[in-house]
Amino acid sequence: MESPTSAASRPDFFDFLDRMRRPAAADLFRSIKSFLVSFSFNEPNAEEDGSKVQAFLTEMEDAIRDHPLWANATNQEIDHALEGLEKYIMTKLFDRTFGTSSVDAITDMEISEKIGLLQQFVKPHHLDIPKVLHNEASWLLAVKELQKINSFKAPREKLLCIMSCCQVINNLLLNISMSSDRTLSGADEFLPILIYITIKANPPQLHSNLKFVQLFRRETKLISEVEYYLTNLISAKMFIIDVNARSLSMEESEFQKHMESARLATQISVANPSSSQGLPTYARAHKEETDLAGSRFPFMDSETESLNPEEVKQLHDLYRQVVTRYTLLSKALRKLSIDEDQLLSSVDDS
């Protein structure tokens, strides 16, 4: 199973950047730069931007195939170059193309809110997941993979998070099938588990992430197994949006009771500043922003003259914590062989 952070997921990009630095690549780089600049002439429009990106990738495939830097290259090497190109342009265009629509932002918030409520009462049996398919360890792994999706900017890497999550589920079903002579029934067993995993994970900006992958991942890559998994996660999203008593195998009165209890519990959690447990993703993020300006940095708005000796001591302790964390972080960063942002900048400057 390939991870977005694995070594196997990076060489395509590094090799592409390396070739783009060469003088022989000047014509290709000018085309790429011109394409990126062209976006500044129009307001963001996801569908139109997606069409432009797809057309450019198709055009550049022909240019790369005919270019001396890829003379005698195999189809796989051409594909690797296109993977690098997609990541490069979409990293540059990310702030323009991801989650910029107010409609998308509202949809993301509504889905996160809905999942936050469902998390408080939905159990596997509500989705008709048989006990033989219960496996908390595998489910937790799938949850963690899906929650990584917002850590990446490239469509391929976001898609790899979806793939990793779905492959965990698929492997679970295969293992149970082989060990218990159980006949798999395809999406009838796969989709309910994916819905449950999605509810448990409450991945940030689920709608925007799915839309981004659909619009900006190379169309020739959205086929076969990839298409199947992506379609299933889209179906899981739609299930959550349209969820009702019948879809959870319960009476309407019971469903409404659970939803009202969940809403009340969420309101209490929001009102209680001592804990953000149980809050949906958007609410936790808002609380963390509040913390940044408040208790986590209590002296941000203080004047030096107003500090008493005890507060100076507290400030010194906080300073020591910052230095310690910075030192540890610096050591960790030095262990990374290449900083991708630095690579992007180096290509621009070459």
The more confidently predicted of residues 34 and 338 is 34
The pTM of the full predicted model, rounded to 2 decimals, is: 0.77
Where does the pLDDT of residue 350 fall: very low under 50, low under 70, confident under 90, or very high at 90 and above?
Answer: low
Class of domain 8-97: mainly alpha
- Residue 211 corresponds to which amino acid? K
Mean pLDDT, all residues of the chain: 85
Q: What is the largest CA-CA distance in the chain?
A: 75
- Residue 115 confidence (pLDDT) above 90: yes
Percent of the chain at pLDDT > 70 equals 78
Domain ranges of the chain: 8-97, 102-258
Q: Give the pLDDT confidence of 258-316 residue by residue, as tens digits.
A: 999 999 988 887 666 555 554 555 445 544 444 444 444 566 666 676 777 777 777 77
Give 158-183 pLDDT, tens digit per residue.
999 999 999 999 999 999 888 877 67
State pLDDT tens for residues 66-110.
999 999 999 999 999 999 999 999 999 999 999 989 999 999 999
State the pLDDT at residue 180: 74
Distance CA(93)–CA(44), nearest Å, equals 10
pLDDT at 130: 92
Same fold, 8-97 and 102-258: no
26: confidence class by pLDDT, cuts 50, 70, 90: very high
* Domain covering 102-258: architecture: Up-down Bundle (1.20)
